[in-house]
Structure 1
């Protein structure tokens, strides 16, 4: 691994829960969960929702982490990520307003450190962004007699809505060694133990600087900082592409899970109807001239049939008349007598 190489990044999403992401950066393992609830807005910002970060350092991730109250490292981690998102206004908080001055959505991001392999800021930042991109909040509407009652619709009634995210602020961390002359990108846990200073720059894919923080150590030359920012801009673009590709794959799988398949009987009926339609379509369509010719032919055949019937009727009458005349000529007899006593 060279000084300016990033470790392997793996982004996974939960198949059932929306708004959860699991990121593995080398040996660093971070999980993020996003939740939201309705609350009252701040008085100075009645039309904006809120976005907050909470971190949890478990002793399972690192023996140096103590349970209970968050340590200074945990507070610093949450503030660095929160500053990059809040100061750059990456998340549209005005879209989280339901009723001005009374009800807004409060979005909360919980970051859980599962394994500390170094550079927790970058890994947690990627996990938070991936979770925010896949989160869906319930849709709300106003009702009641006065139209001021907030109605939260369940997912079965109305499709949940995603958050409006304008851009992705990516945190890139550099470690300085040997009086700030040696710079290492994405420091590991062992490199952090011996580094002389650290700087985290938050940029988006357009090379816009969202936030910069330098924690401890001696001063750094301006030329070194500018070099780090140029490298950070390229790394931010690469990481943004990876996050978007992972989210797009997740959304595609999510859409496929919601497709309802038709039963087999319906499919057979449809296929049968299609066959019948094709058979009917294969028959030639009669044209206007063909219909006129067929009508003339039918009328001619009817006239011929009527003439044949009249001729047969006349011939049968003539034959019957001739038979009667012949019988009359052949009949010879005398006066008839009737005796009632004859046996």
Structure 2
């Protein structure tokens, strides 16, 4: 772990936090035994689970493969747990490198889930001493805002409860793995749901707060992690740091943690059941829509993607109606400004004619002959009807020259008379 990139809590922040604790208040406004909100979302694949504990977010994925069993346990499957701390969660985490924190989290999670026999490993045996299922739980920390252990334990349990392994049959010496189309996948057998509940300890046990944030973890003297299931059975206990705690304080804290564990287990079971019902009804689900709902809810929105889409659609319909109404009004104004005029055909000369409005009067235009422009001769004046010029598109954007053809016969006749 790179200590250079690690955010260090300053002395002023430490004093301010301890002063708030002395006044029985926390920086985020929670009580000492109050926990942050837990959100559980499942992906489209079996065993994919996203859990958010406040702003701490974790993604768990369960995978299975067939392996040979261990020689000491020939009739039991294999369960592996792995927590990955990547730079996406915090800048001081390094990818592909085991740090002290990752090793500690892996060991605590294995004590809580694996050593407590939460998963029935004998149900994973295909053939004794030959083939068993090896279940692997990969946990990736997406955002680190304190209390990774609790969030990771919830994600691992929810992913294991949601996972389905393919059915396998043995025909003599051959093992046949059936696809989802052939046979329904089989869920894992879970005896109980142990959950890790973490507390931070300040001033040698004077203040004990639940679900610490990243600032509180940096200031705390010690932390206590208790693994409990919904039956109030102790599945693991770990005390790290330096703090003197009496047995009465530990028992009181364990009773509070047991109530919290029961609530979390009930939430996991209800969420898994709801997800299974949605899959049976073939409704759209997945982390994408749910995370979008979570983001909208965090920003103060309605928190439902269908509601947001409906609001956007109605808004777009209103905008289209307004634009159509404006176009109609503009067209009607243009018709009023440019009323239709009755025109008549006026003969300008031999072989030429023009459309002239009835009320339009003829104006006199002066045309200068290019051959006599520099001479001292008199300038010829020819009467040309104005509508002839109006009919030409003088204001056009085209770069081509506009040519006006006059009556050539009258012009040549006048030139001959002068000569």
TM-score, normalised with respect to structure 2: 0.60
Q: 1:125 aligns with which of 129, 132, 153?
A: 153
Find the aligned partners of 1:176 and 1:169 in 2 and give their Cα distance.
Answer: 22
Provide, for residues 120-166 of structure 1, a one-character-per-residue CA deviation record: whole Å limited to 9, x for no partner.
000000000110011000100001xxx13211111111111000001
Local SS of the residue matching 1:229:
helix
What count of residue pairs does the alignment treat as equivalent? 254
Contact in 1 for aligned 2:77/2:132 (Cα 8 Å): yes
Distance 2:243 2:34 in 1: 24
2:40 to 5, 8, 11: 11
Residues 82-91 or 130-139, more deviating: 82-91
- For residue 236 of structure 2, what is the aligned residue in structure 1? 211
Question: What corresponds to 1:33 in structure 2?
Answer: 61
1:97 pairs with 2:122: no
Gaps of 5+ in 2: 1-29, 284-419
1:108 — aligned with what? 136
In 2, Cα distance between equivalents of 1:172 and 1:250: 25
CA RMSD of aligned residues (A): 1.0
Q: How does 1:79-98 map to 2 (within 5 A)?
A: 79-98=107-126
Which moved further from structure 2: 132-141 or 76-85?
Answer: 76-85
Which residue of 223, 232, 250 maps to 1:225? 250
Q: CA deviation at 1:99?
A: 0.5
What is the aligned partner in structure 1 of residue 182 from structure 2? 157
Aligned residues of 2:198 and 2:223 also touching (Cα < 8 A): yes
Matched, 1:67 2:92: no
Separation in 1, partners of 2:241, 2:210: 17
Indicate whether 1:136 and 2:164 are aligned. Answer: yes
Instruction: Give the Cα separation in 1 of the matches to 2:98 and 2:76.
Output: 28
The Cα offsets for residues 233-256 of structure 1, whole Å up to 9 and x where unpaired, read as: 100011111111111110110111
TM-score scaled to structure 1, two decimals? 0.73
Rounded to whole Å, the distance in 2 between the matches of 1:181 and 1:45 is: 46
SS of the residue 2:119 aligns to: coil
Aligned partner of 2:324 in structure 1 is: none
2:405 is matched with which residue?
Answer: none
The aligned runs of 1:51-62 (5 Å cut-off) are 51-62=79-90
Matching of residue 183 in structure 1 with residue 208 in structure 2:
yes
Kindly name which structure, 1 or 2, has the bigger radius of gyration based on alpha carbons: 1
SS at match of 1:257: coil
Residue 179 of structure 1, CA deviation:
1.2
CA contact (8 A) 2:201 2:243 kept: no
User: 2:199 touches 2:209 (CA, 8 Å); kept in 1?
Assistant: yes
Cα distance in 1 for partners of 2:94, 2:113 equals 27
Deviation track 1:157-213 (CA, whole Å, cap 9, x = no partner) reads: 111100000110011001000112110001011100000000100000110001111
Deviation of 1:218 (Å): 2.6
User: Relative contact order (C-alpha < 8 Å, sep 6+): which is higher?
Assistant: 1
What stretches of structure 1 move > 3 A for 4+ residues in a row? Answer: none
